[in-house]
Amino acid sequence: MMRVIERVLAKASRVKLPSVPRLSRTKMTVLWLVGAALVLGLLVALSLNHSFPLLQTRGEIANRQRDLLVFATALALLVLVPVYFMIFTFAWRYRAGHKQEYKPEWDTHKSYEALWWGIPIAIISVLAVVTWVTSHSLDPFKPLASSQKPLQVQVVALQWKWLFIYPQEGVASVNEVAFPAGRPVEFTMTSDAPMNSFWIPQLAGQIYVMSGMSTKLHVSADTTGVYEGMSSNISGKGFADMKFKARAMTVRDFDAWVTKAHGGEHLTQQRYDMLAKPSTNKVSYFHVADRSVYDNVIMKYMHSTPPNEVKPTEEKVPSRMGSNEMEHNMEGMHQ
């Protein structure tokens, strides 16, 4: 193997490279310092600006995801730090004009072989086991351990807004979701639009939402606060404004929030159909008059073909839903 590499390197060294103007040592040093200062400055500016929501987590799920991220990064650094150290050491040691003996006879070195095969194998094994175990413990369908009953919130991704329905409280909101801090929230989510991805970086990782499918995400916030929420899956023209605030509140504030929402417009099926039309919306609140809105969104996509496009057939075929009863139950669910 080493012989092959040597031959390739030898060939490469004979290739004429375009000449690069040589910089003096002082100029080189200044260039390096300016570059390093820029990178450092950028990192400091970003961290002062609190632009690391993935690291500034405030919820159980996100905390554990962050721990995994930090662990994987630290493990990778075990390799990266020595590699970068060696790159610069070798570059310095074998620089032009520095007569250093070149000793590439490493292919018979059993201990070196063990080192550069053993370390990656060990790292990948540890990473694989830890990631597997953590990912399964973070199953979004799994309820969070808590003495409190989870707050039920139905989420509908629309073009280009988020609708949150509280079936137990009888309220709904657009582009704002509120819940008591410390109490687990069970999001039941779907989409009445192209595929989107529900994401509150400080509380939990993103989950895809698709029309005709209902999925779940369990979340809780450690402390009260306002967290950014968004769609992390591009879904068209208004996607950039498809953001919401996740407000973790005290129980008292949450009760006040629910009371405020009760004073909003009535969310009927007709009002929902208006809301579902493509537009970007400000935060708004609703009193839920029709509790079947979420189920209707799911059912809307159960028909693969609109009824008036079904071609007549000579034979009597069973209906798509499998039973007449089901068809009957769905009557009146469509406008």
> What's the min distance (Å) between Cβ of 283 and Cu ion?
20
- Nearer CB in complex with Cu ion: 172/193: 172
- Nearer CB in complex with Cu ion: 144/289: 289
Q: Is 262 one of the binding residues for Cu ion (CB under 5 A)?
A: no
Characterize the bridge pairing of strands 151-158 and 185-191.
parallel
Distances (CA, A) of 140 to 134, 146, 215, 217, 270: 12, 15, 9, 5, 32
Residues 324 and 335: their CA atoms lie apart, in Å, by: 20
Residues 271 and 174: their CA atoms lie apart, in Å, by: 13
> What's the min distance (Å) between Cβ of 171 and Cu ion?
10
Residues 325 and 266: their CA atoms lie apart, in Å, by: 31
- Nearer CB in complex with Cu ion: 131/168: 168
> What's the min distance (Å) between Cβ of 170 and Cu ion?
8
- Nearer CB in complex with Cu ion: 7/291: 291
Who's near 250: CB < 8 A, 6+ residues apart? 180, 181, 224
Cis preceding-peptide flag for 116 (omega within 30 of 0):
no
| Binding map of Cu ion across residues 281-300, x = CB under 5 A, - = no contact | ------x-x-----------
Within residues 42-61, the interface with Cu ion by CB under 5 A covers: none
| Binding map of Cu ion across residues 75-114, x = CB under 5 A, - = no contact | ----------------------------------------
Number of chain residues interacting with Cu ion (CB under 5 A):
2
Type of residue numbered 104? P
Positions that interact with Cu ion (CB under 5 A): 287, 289
